[in-house]
Amino acid sequence: MPQQTAEDVRIPHRPRRTGGYRRLFARPGTRAFTAGNLLARLPIGMFGVSAVVMIAGSRGSYALAGAVTAAGLAATAVAGPWIARLVDRHGQARVAVPATLVSVLGSLALLLCVRQGAPDWALFAAYAGTAATPNIGGLSRARWAHLLRDDPGALHTANSFEQAADELCYMLGPVLASFLTGTFFPEAGTLAAAGLLLAGMLLFTAQRATEPPRRARSKAPSPLRSPGIPVLLVCFTATGAVFGSMEVVTIAFADAQGHRTAAGAALALQAAGSCAAGLVYGVRRPTRVRLGHCLAGMAALMALPWAAAAVSGSLWALAGALLVAGMATAPTMVTGMTLVQRRTPADRLNEGMSLVVTGLLTGIACGSALGGWTVEHLSPTSAYAVPAGAAILALGVGALARVGAAPVRCEAGAAS
């Protein structure tokens, strides 16, 4: 039997049957917690856009709006693992509900500060409160990991669904926020996002039957000290740089073409490609998946937008390239997240997945900054080299992860 490397994910071979997702949600309680999870996850893509519109419209400064939202991302990256550690220790409901209340209050405080003309520092302080938002996707993945601990094939399908849900919410969230702020009043997006987050989290945490049990605190090391986790986090950081730079560069490219409003639609196609690929990937259930293969596919496909922009100069050709390029994202994220789940101690699972979010947010911030600098000093077309280079960096880091790494095994009927 060939030896596995650290980037292998084995999924038991089973005859393909239809209705993989239907069987997944036939389990008691899964539909209810998924409904709450999706309701609470949608606002994650709304808060940033709503805050920018609200602050820029009131203060007339996109620089201030961008700085406030960037500070909120940084605070989330710091607070996320700490909140997840509390979830692992005390349970989802006991921690997620109070944390969500703090986040909602932070959003409402920002709204009041903007409306009342509070000083700039108050905006930063208020928006920092939203960093208490629990990692909704991580909480849901932890439930699936608990429910499907003896069925790795079904867990692969569940992880694929969760990634598709991420893409769907990040695709629809900004659109909904833009619609609300443009149709009603600037604060409408923030109010709706806060209400959806609170309602969704209450519905999600009310499903106690599917909540993972609290585990006795073991002497297991921090996920950061688990074999292979640091390298995987670097891969996620590089992947985040792909996302962050692609967004900034695409907006700049569309603006240079005189079609800035179409940038959102082009980026939505990238998310749509990833969402569709994630759903298909979950049904296929390959017997062995290598993270290196997924990273190689992402590195190859992320060159397509650069080529489309350079050769055609057309926003529509770029949109088609983004749709295809997005198809590499979900398989990479699902495979990487599965490896993180299997390498993280059971009593620190939420913390491990929250570290992934921290890595992604760090990468998004760095990618946005580097992409913006490249646009300003070179050109929007040349700046597409940034996401392509970030994807190549992730591939290089993934290749280094194979050196001296212990094999990861997951046989039928047992979770490693």
Give the fold, CATH level 3, of 28-213.
Growth Hormone; Chain: A; (1.20.1250)
Beta-bridged to residue 290, according to DSSP, are: 8
Output the pLDDT for position 183: 84
Architecture of domain 222-416: Up-down Bundle (1.20)
Q: Residues 392, 355, 159, CA angle at the centre, nearest 5°? A: 75
A 10 A CB-CB count for 20 gives: 20
Q: Which helix (H) or strand (E) holds 10?
A: strand 8-10
Q: Rounded to the nearest 5°, which phi and psi values hold at 53?
A: -60, -45
Considering just the CA atoms, what is the radius of gyration of the chain in Å? 21
- At residue 405, the pLDDT reads 41
With b for 16 or more beta-carbon neighbours within 10 A and e for fewer, the 57-88 pattern comes to ebbeeeebbbebbbbbbebbbebbbebbbbbb
What is the value of pTM for the model shown? 0.75
For residue 75, give the nearest of 46, 111, 106 by alpha carbon: 106
267 burial via Cβ count (<10 Å: 0-12, 13-18, 19+): buried
Helix axis angle for 349-377 and 136-147, nearest 10°, is 140
Q: How much is the pLDDT for 105? A: 96
pLDDT of residue 9: 53
d(CA 52, CA 360): 21
Torsion of CA 289, 412, 274, 238, to 10 degrees: -50
Answer whether 28-213 and 222-416 agree in fold.
Answer: yes
Residue 289 three-state SS: strand
DSSP 132: G
Q: CB–CB of 352/229 below 8 Å?
A: yes
Own/partner contacts of 15-18, CB < 8 Å, gap of 24 or more, are 16/283, 16/284, 16/285
What single letter denotes the amino acid at residue 342?
R
Strand-pairing partners, residue 8, are 290
Predicted local confidence at residue 206, as pLDDT: 92
Domain residue ranges in the chain:
28-213, 222-416
Q: What is residue 95's predicted lDDT score, i.e. its pLDDT?
A: 93
Predicted confidence pLDDT, tens digits, the chain (416 residues): 344 444 555 544 444 443 578 888 888 889 999 999 999 999 987 887 788 788 888 888 767 887 888 788 888 888 888 898 888 888 899 999 999 999 999 999 999 999 999 999 999 999 999 999 998 888 998 899 889 888 888 888 888 888 888 878 877 887 788 788 878 888 998 999 999 999 999 999 999 989 988 766 656 667 777 777 888 889 999 998 998 888 888 878 887 887 766 777 788 888 888 888 888 888 775 556 678 888 999 999 999 999 999 988 888 899 999 999 999 888 888 888 888 888 887 778 778 888 888 888 888 878 888 888 888 888 889 989 999 999 999 999 888 766 334 333 433 333 33
Burial per residue of 236-259, b for 16 or more beta-carbon CB atoms within 10 angstroms, e otherwise: bbbbbbbbbbbbbbbbbbbeebee
